[in-house]
Structure formats: C-alpha cells, structure tokens
Structure 1
Amino acid sequence: MASQKMLKFVKVERDMPAKRAPDLRRQDFGEIYGEYAKAKAEEQSSRCSQCGVPYCQSHCPLHNNIPDWLRLTAEGRLQEAYEVSQATNTFPEICGRICPQDRLCEGNCVIEQSGHGTVTIGSVEKYITDTAWENGWVKPVVPAVERAESVGIIGAGPGGLAAADMLRRQGFQVTVYDRYDRAGGLLTYGIPGFKLEKDVVVRRNDQLVQSGVEFVLNCNVGDDISFDAIRGKHDAVLIATGVYKTRELKAPGVGAEGTARAIDYLTASNRKSFGDDVAEFNSGELNAEGKRVVVIGGGDTAMDCVRTAIRQGATSVKCLYRRDRANMPGSQREVANAEEEGVEFVWLSAPKGFVGDPVTGVMVQKMRLGAPDATGRQMPEVIEGADYVEDADLVITALGFEPEDLPKLWGVDGLEVARWGTIKADYKTHATSLPGVYAAGDIVRGASLVVWAIRDGREAAESIMQYIAETGQVAAE
C-alpha cells in the first residue's frame, strides 16, 4: 500500500505553496508563503522516491528522517509524521521556514538530480508541525522523573533553547540566561517576520516555560551576574551566546550619521513589530521610510535588510556585493524574492567610503573576479578608474558577525578561545577547557545556520547528561 502512495514524481510536478504577490507582501511583515492544504501536502510528499541512500537526510545537519515523515504525510498519518520529525529536530516548524533547503536537503534530492524538481521538503516540514500545533499534539514537556541536578545555559537562541528542551525531557532543572528581554535570540530579533512570524517563536518559548525551564532575561553576564556565580549555582553550564559583534568596514566616513549596522536595524524593526516603543525607529535613524537605502553585503542578513527596507517604504533599495550572483553566499531563493519585491542588486561592487555626514552616498569601487582563493572562490579585484558614487540616505552594513571576547567580557580565567575568538570546544562533546562547561552554536563554529545551532545544542545536552551522570557516580563512590 505504501509503495502505491509514493514515487509519484514522474506524474506529479513540484508545486510550492502559493506565494503572495510582491505588491501585497511589500505592505506588511507577514510570511510570504502560504500553507499547504492537506491534499496538496500529501500529493507533494508522495513525490518522494524513498531512496535507499537518502541524500536529503545525510545533507541535513540534524539528519532528520525526511523520507519517513514524507511517507507518513503522503499516507495522511500526520501525527506520526510530526512525532518522527520532532524526534530529531527541536524546532521543525522554524527550520521548515528559514533553513536554506536549496543548499541542504532539497538541494541534494535525488529526483532533482534526475530533472523532476525536488520534493518540497521544507514546506511539508512546516505544514506537519503547524498542523501539530493546531491539533494540540505539541505539549509541554513532562519528564518521567524530576532530577535535582541543574544546568545553566547562557544564551536563549536556537542552540541554547534546543539544549534546554533536551535537558528538561530528562528531568534536569534548567535556567536560561539572556541579555535580551525576550527569548529566541536571532529568531526573535534578527530574522524578520516575513520569513519567521514572531508568534511561531513565542509559542515555542511559552512551551519551554510551561515545561519548567526558568528564563532570566535582561541579564548581562559579567555585569548583572558573574560567570563564576552561574558555575557555582549549577552542576554544568552551556555557553550558547551566538556571535553578535558586527564585522566593521574600514573606510573613510564610517560612523557618519545615516550609516547603521544590520543587527541594530533589524532589531529595531522586529521590536517595532512587537509593539515596543523604539526611539531609534521613531526618530527615523533606523527607519527606511522615504529614503534611498544601500545595503552592503551578500549574505542572508543582507537579504533580510533589503527586504525590510522595502516594507518600511524606502524610495529605492540597492544591494552592493563585491562578487557576482553565482558567488553570493546568501540563499538564491531569498535573492529572487528580493528582486520580485523591487530590490536592485549591484554586482561586482565594493564600498570605498561614505560621502557626507549625514551620509548622502557611498563611494563604490567596481570589481572583477580574479584567481581563486584557498576555498576555490574567485577573488574580487578592483577595476582602476571605475569608481562612482551611489546616492544614499541610509546605508546598512551587513558584513557578517564576529565573536565577542567572552573571557575578557566575563572576567573568566582558563576559558580557551581559538585564534579568531570563538570558544574552543571538542567537536564531538562540545566540552570547553573548563570542567563542566560546554559551548555550542555560533560561539564555537562562527556565524552559521540556525539548524547547525540546534544540532550543536542537542549534542551538547547529551554530553552534559553524561558528564553529570559520571560526576554523580564519582561523588557516590
């Protein structure tokens, strides 16, 4: 029976959920993709070829059992599909929305390689878990046994929250410390609502609270509480702060009025969507309305900025990137969405400096691609004599993120860091140089994807459980 439900890719074409028209989605921060109806989700799931070696699964950082939950969805067994999905992924509805599936699971789909168009894995994943929420299948964690041992987690982003969920399921007492007033990290304040509506994040945070996870918010480690105090209070500690220090541009005019960092700009916009009173937005400093906006960068954060500026009512939005479209690090799907919404991409262009204070333009160097670097990507080279000025009233720099100097910031001795400032941690156990202290996510691997942070957080939680079990045995002996 199951085989009759599957292998439909020869007869059934790939079909994404309906996407709202660009002129409509420019007007608000609602998600741009609709939801599958039950029949359509079953139909698209039935296109899976049920490979003997599922490359979608092996190229997923979480190694989600994708063929299994696609088959269950095709058979209409949605609650079972959700259980299989949840078994390996703490936040499947979030990954279904924001993972770059074109570079991970869908990009490695076997039927895509054979010319039939990939299975719409991300959209089905989102549908399964949204259906689970609607039907009350997602419930607060109730551990079989409560344990006395406690774990402190610094950072309420996806890595820290994934670890908190895993630890609570095993009955550990969990306290999460975060500098912001809401949990979620970049899920809450970095990623715009048109990619991830905030009620999706809020309901997961609420589920963790109902599961017994304690959140200590508006808490700056090193100021409001010392790292040593957190270590003393808990049996183990997980550092999952992410990387928030902006990679700065070194050029004339940096810091001029009218220039902004991507993280500040996106945070202000997301706070506004929560209904907060945001002084920098109200003053126009971090508001693109009526302005000629230039965003510098080619990653997913740059895409978030250009598409936010469009929705805020900018008169024009341009994105400068020093390489060409084929060498852009951001999702090609996001680039296409941005172009549909009216963003202009200026390829092979790099900033040389800023004009005016307040800023009136960006000095631009035209580039060409030269010899490959150590990674195999062609290096941009300046075309002499081709400089020009791109007019702008607001310039947003989205050049990536670097780790803060946590040992110095927190006054910690013995916490080893790598030469680029990330925390040194064992790649399997996530143990740091300090006993009982673990680290996961971007603070270890550098700025990366949410799905990698979830994987790291889950792995670190398993190592912490083992560490507490072993130290408890030693104490008993």
Structure 2
Amino acid sequence: MAGQKMLKFVDVARDMPEKRPPDLRRDDFHEIYAEYADDKAKEQSSRCSQCGVPYCQSHCPLHNNIPDWLRMTAEGRLQEAYELSQATNTFPEICGRICPQDRLCEGNCVIEQSGHGTVTIGSVEKYITDTAFEEGWVKPIRPHTERSESVGIVGAGPAGLAAADMLRRAGLQVTVYDRYDRGGGLLTYGIPGFKLEKDVVMRRMAQLEEGGVEFVLNCDVGDDISFDAIRGKHEAVLIATGVYKTRALEAPGVGSDGIVRAIDYLTASNRKSFGDDVEEFDSGELNAAGKSVVVIGGGDTAMDCVRTAVRQGARSVKCLYRRDEANMPGSLREVQNAKEEGVEFVWLSAPKGFTTRSDMAGTAVEVVGGVMVQKMRLGAPDATGRQMPELVEDSDYVEEADLVVQALGFEPEDIPTLWGAPELEVTRWGTIKAEFTTGQTSLDGVFAAGDIVRGASLVVWAIRDGRDAAAAILDYVDQGASVVAAE
C-alpha cells in the first residue's frame, strides 16, 4: 500500500544499534550500544505490526503505549512519541537502557513469536527520550498550582524518584531523604556505566531539583534524623529505601579477606567513575586489577560484577552458578555480552567453602585463595517450576581466586528496629507489609513502594510502584485537605 508506514517486519529485518567490539569496550565503562540515527529509528519502528492485542504493552509493568509511540516514531512525530512515552513512564531513557526487554516487551512481541525478530523496543524508547532532551522538549516541572501540603520520601532510588516526580507535578512540596551523597540509589551506585552512564541519571536528578524537589542527602534515617521527626514534618511519608542487605553465604572461610559483597564492589567502582577518592578501591580491596576473580550468582547483579571485573583488568573472571544457562535468572542479553567480553561461566556449580592463604605482608590475616566448588545436577522442579539443583557426590574441586564477589541477591534491612518504629508491620521475609497498589502501611499516612515491599526486583517495577504510591498519597492528602476545609 502506498504510503504505508507500518507492518514492514516482513521486508525489514531486525537491526539493533551498533554494539562496540569487545576488545574496545573492555577498556572503559562507556555504554556499549550506539544511538540510533533518525532514519534507523523510523525504520525499526515501522516493523511494528500494530496488533490488536499488544502483548508488548501488557507484559510491560508500566503498560507503556508501545505500539502508539512506535507508530509516531515511524511517522516522524517524535515529540508526540516522547510525550506519550513520558505519560506512563517517569524515566523511559533509563528503562530503554537497563530493562530486560528480552524477558518483557520484546520477548512477548507478536512478530517475534512469528519468527520475524522482535521490534527493537528498548533502543527506540531510549532514542526518543535522549532526542527529547537534546531538542529541549523535556521541561522542568512547573505545577499548575502550588499546594502547602508536603510529602517526605525516604530513598532516592527509582521508586522514590518516580513518586517525587508525580507528587511535585501535582503541586505538593516534596522532600527526599537519602543516605548517600548523590541521588539515584542503585541507578547511580549499583548499575555500572557500561549499562547506564551516570550523566543520564544526574540529568534526571537535575530536572527534579530544578522542579522544586528538595534532596536531603548524606542523611541516614534513625541516626541523622528520626523517623518520627520525618512523620512530624510531612502530611504523608513514602518509604522507598530499596533492599541493600546482601544475602550472604554461610560456609568455611567466608570471613576471609578478598571475599566481598556485590553492592560494595559495584559502589566502589561507580564512585571512581565520578572521580571520588575511594580508599577501598585504591588499596586493592575492591579492585579486580590483576586478580583471578570468581563471582557467585546468576542474576543481573552478577553480570554487572563480572563485566566490571573485566574492565578493571582482572587476570581471569569466572561466574559460578548452581543451575544451567537455561535456568539463569539474569538477562540473556547481558549473559551474551559477558561471554563476548571474556567471562567464563561455570554452570551447575555451587560454593562449599573457601581456601585461604596467609597475607603476603606476613600478618595473621587470612586471605582467600580459592573457592571449594561442588558440582550440581538439576533434579525435580520446585513450587515455581524451576528444577532444583542437587549435589553430585565426590565431584568437589578448588577454583583459584584472589577476589570473590558474592552476588546472591539482596534482603531488606530491619527497618522497624533501625528506625525505632516497632509498630511498622513487616512480612515474614522482612519486607514492609503494604496494601496492594496503594502502598499504605500499618501506620496512618505512611506508604511504601519498590523493593522494600516486593523484594529485590526490576527498576521498571520500582517505577510502577512509585507511581502507584504517589497516586494513593495524593488521594490521602486530598482527603485530609477536605476534612480541614469542612471544619
């Protein structure tokens, strides 16, 4: 049909943005994917089949209007595409970079299921908002009407920032408290620059600050300010701290020097990228340069660690995972990138303990020398349907290691105790007990969102939770205002 802009998936092949060669990208922390040119973004968007039931949209936690902004991009209506993308997603340029599209929107694309190769949704999403920033379409937050009510948000990660954005747009006064010296949470200090360059996060932080969101940084609730004081200052409070407590191994030798937590390792590396002085990095404690590195775990955090170690100049990098590749929880795309960069995966292997050696300086400190590995096989499925790993007898061996990074996931801190709020109810997993969709906790006017409610999860889910909680907080504040007006 003449003038047809869409449904070109039969004639136009899937084409990802150019990826830098492994031998070049191993030497720096820059993002590995190039940006689409305008014509290429239009071409790839035109492959969308505009299906009646868009599975890409239904499998997106934010239910982004993907077919519509793909069509607008194909038609050259890029500012409209940005406005539609921004309507459902507070940070589309971040999701376009770090979402596991292969498990969400792209993995459920109808033309992918028909064998034609999925639309490159994530790359187009990133392109739309990056272009919007360049063209000046992204404006500072300017509420139509300023309101006197205020909301305190504890945690400047994706859930807290998404809520802050929505509440500020509604005219509320918003203060965000965070323990770190920069906002962004794991976006800033957890995710490496080769997936998400830090100026992308800082650009959003600047937009929020310019829009009137107040940030109180280097502020540890429970120490620097009490939770009761925060509640007393604001009409409502949102807890969006995330989960930072590392799920640690219990095995012989686990306390030896050279066995570190993933969050500490990644934070040190990201701080160096900002030009900070990081004593633990400079001393070699959290630096993989010249070392044999073993990362234990199979999720996206483990992939961040192995790929960081490569860039720091490790002698060798191995990833130890107790299941096989098909059952790995991390993004398939990230696993492939790690393989290209020289990471060796040791499947069906679990740590049994750690061998140690004396410190080279002659002190009594024991330093890790290797990981005692026990081989596994997959047995019967568990309640989730995943096959359970089982021990293979008499298969143990030692994997040499100078640095071992534990990337086994994160658990919630004991917030009620840390904050002196025993009446704040938690689940049996330690996450905060909150109402579904609203985030209302057991305390009046206190809401919770993100990983601290659902457990360690994806950034896109944190954004969704933050937006949902913001809507509920707005309703709560409005009800309070109505009561005051009636009196």
| TM bucket normalised to smaller | over 0.9
Kept in 2: contact 1:31–1:197 (CA 8 A): yes
1:85-234 to structure 2, matched below 5 A, reads 85-234=85-234
**Structure 2 equivalent of residue 13 of structure 1:** 13
Helix, strand or coil for the counterpart of 1:476? helix
The structural deviation recorded for 1:475 is: 2.2
Cα shift readout 1:280-323 (whole Å, capped 9, x = no counterpart) = 00000000000000000000000000000000000100000000
**What's the C-alpha RMSD, in Å, of the aligned pairs?**
0.8
**Structure 2 equivalent of residue 76 of structure 1:** 76
Cα shift readout 1:347-372 (whole Å, capped 9, x = no counterpart) = 00000001002111000000000111
**Structure 2 equivalent of residue 389 of structure 1:** 398
Q: For the residues of structure 2 that align with 1:35 and 1:2, how far apart are their CA atoms?
A: 29
Helix, strand or coil for the counterpart of 1:9? coil
TM-score with structure 2 setting the length: 0.97
Q: For the residues of structure 2 that align with 1:2 and 1:335, how far apart are their CA atoms?
A: 42
Task: Give the aligned residue type for 1:448.
Answer: S
Point out 4+ residue stretches in structure 1 off by more than 6 angstroms.
none
Out of 345, 369, 373, the position equivalent to 2:378 is: 369
Q: For the residues of structure 1 that align with 2:382 and 2:290, how far apart are their CA atoms?
A: 40
Task: Give the aligned residue type for 2:471.
Answer: E
Task: Give the aligned residue type for 1:459.
Answer: D
Cα shift readout 1:154-210 (whole Å, capped 9, x = no counterpart) = 000000000000001010000000000000000000000000000000000000000
Q: For the residues of structure 1 that align with 2:431 and 2:173, how far apart are their CA atoms?
A: 27
**Structure 2 equivalent of residue 440 of structure 1:** 449
Task: Give the aligned residue type for 1:447.
Answer: A
Out of 416, 426, 436, the position equivalent to 1:407 is: 416
The structural deviation recorded for 1:73 is: 0.2
Kept in 2: contact 1:2–1:71 (CA 8 A): no
Task: Give the aligned residue type for 1:281.
Answer: F
**Structure 2 equivalent of residue 380 of structure 1:** 389
Q: For the residues of structure 2 that align with 1:117 and 1:428, how far apart are their CA atoms?
A: 34
**Structure 2 equivalent of residue 249 of structure 1:** 249
Kept in 1: contact 2:437–2:465 (CA 8 A): no
Task: Give the aligned residue type for 1:88.
Answer: T
Cα shift readout 1:204-254 (whole Å, capped 9, x = no counterpart) = 000000000000000000000000000000000000000000001000001
Helix, strand or coil for the counterpart of 2:188? helix
The structural deviation recorded for 1:413 is: 3.0
**Structure 1 equivalent of residue 465 of structure 2:** 456
1:262-341 to structure 2, matched below 5 A, reads 262-341=262-341
Q: For the residues of structure 2 that align with 1:413 and 1:311, how far apart are their CA atoms?
A: 44
Q: For the residues of structure 1 that align with 2:392 and 2:236, how far apart are their CA atoms?
A: 54
The structural deviation recorded for 1:471 is: 1.3
Q: For the residues of structure 2 that align with 1:433 and 1:476, how far apart are their CA atoms?
A: 26
Percent of aligned positions that are identical: 82
Q: For the residues of structure 2 that align with 1:471 and 1:418, how far apart are their CA atoms?
A: 28
The structural deviation recorded for 1:474 is: 1.6
Task: Give the aligned residue type for 1:449.
Answer: L
Q: For the residues of structure 2 that align with 1:459 and 1:184, how far apart are their CA atoms?
A: 19
Q: For the residues of structure 2 that align with 1:52 and 1:377, how far apart are their CA atoms?
A: 32
**Structure 2 equivalent of residue 46 of structure 1:** 46
Kept in 2: contact 1:59–1:105 (CA 8 A): yes
**How many pairs are equivalent?**
477
Q: For the residues of structure 2 that align with 1:423 and 1:476, how far apart are their CA atoms?
A: 33
**Structure 1 equivalent of residue 258 of structure 2:** 258
The structural deviation recorded for 1:476 is: 2.3
Q: For the residues of structure 1 that align with 2:381 and 2:93, how far apart are their CA atoms?
A: 38
Task: Give the aligned residue type for 1:86.
Answer: Q
The structural deviation recorded for 1:2 is: 10
Q: For the residues of structure 2 that align with 1:2 and 1:418, how far apart are their CA atoms?
A: 59
Kept in 1: contact 2:298–2:329 (CA 8 A): yes
